[in-house]
Each structure stands twice: as C-alpha cells, then as structure tokens.
Amino acid sequence: EVQLVESGGGLVQPGSSLKLSCVASGFTFSSYNMHWIRQAPKKGLEWIALIYYDSSNKYYADSVKGRFTISRDNSKNTLYLEMNSLRSEDTAMYYCAKSAYRGYADYFDYWGQGVMVTVSS
C-alpha cells in the first residue's frame, strides 16, 4: 500500500523558515518524480514544486521560486521542502504527491494527508 506521510508543519512568524518532510512507502520511491502541492484555507489547489526521481531537475511555481527548495533523499525514501522568507500568503495545507506520468502528461495518483503551515505574527 502506497503511503505518504508529511511532517514538520507548524506556526511560524513572517520571514522565518521551515522544512517539511514526506516519508514514502509502498512503492519504489527512487523511480518516481515527486511534487509538493498546497491548499490555502477554504481555497483551491496550487502546485508549487516538482523534483525528478534522480534529483536531476527541479521546477517551481513563480509564487515560491527563490524562496522554497525541493529536495529528496532516495536512501531514506524522503522528500523535503525547505521554505524560507515565509509570508502570510504561504499559510496552507501542504501535500506531497507521487507523480503519475502518463502519455507525456503529469498527474498525481497518491497524496499524503497534508501538513499545516501557518505564517502569522
């Protein structure tokens, strides 16, 4: 059974940093691209970052580019999201998601339960 378990969220002040983790199990983690997606309270879904299976490529949404860094440790089956210079608009539930790349298009076939990040003074 595929499982994705996020951790590391919490309440932080504007301008501070936080690092999220996502531990994967039930599939060959090192063979799949992985994503971070977030959802502000009562809002829709926003893709924010992608990392290739071998960390060779990383892509970011404009809203987080230059502030957030996605990384992974395939030996630990773990995905990370390092978030710096946090703003109130970064307040959201953060999900890690497994890539389901089919027919030259990327979808998300498994999601974690999410971890809440609240940025407030």
Residue 113 interacts with other proteins (CB under 8 A): yes or no: yes
Distance separating alpha carbons of residues 66 and 41, to the nearest angstrom = 24
Spell out the residues 6+ positions from residue 66 whose beta carbon is closer than 8 angstroms to its own: none
CB closer to other proteins out of 16 and 101: 101
Q: Does 41 bind other proteins (CB under 8 A)?
A: no
Q: Total residues at the site for other proteins (CB under 8 A)?
A: 24
Kindly identify the residues of this chain, within the stretch 68-87, that bind other proteins according to CB under 8 A.
Answer: none
Label each residue of 26-38 as H, E or C: CCCHHHCCEEEEE
Interface with other proteins includes 5 (CB under 8 A)? no
Closest to other proteins by CB, 12 or 50: 50
